[in-house]
Amino acid sequence: MKIEKLFYTIEKELQAFGDIEETTGNKTVIVYQIDGDDLSELVSLDLSNDDSSVEAINDWLDENGINSKKLQLILL
């Protein structure tokens, strides 16, 4: 698989207390790849807000046989 750029989003988990929303301390990082004209989700990671999103993405890539050192990660 040849991937040069990966795109990711970060969504912080919210909890509502009446009209007030607060973060729960968790986030979801979704990584996308572009293949030709198609955008597809590569992985969704559930993390703590304290976790480094980039480090978690790179760890997942390396664990799944994708060389993270040859990639550019772009936050959307």
Cβ distance 71 to 3 under 8 Å? yes
pLDDT digits (tens, 9 = 90+) for 9-66: 999 999 999 999 999 999 999 999 988 899 999 999 999 999 999 999 999 999 999 8
Phi, psi of 4 (to 5 degrees): -105, -35
User: Considering its fold, how many domains does the chain have in total?
Assistant: 1
* 70 confidence band (pLDDT: 50, 70, 90): confident
Cα 36 from Cα 58, distance rounded (Å): 23
Q: Against a cut of 0.95, is the pTM above it?
A: no
**Whole domain around residue 43: which residue ranges?**
5-75
Cα 33 from Cα 36, distance rounded (Å): 10
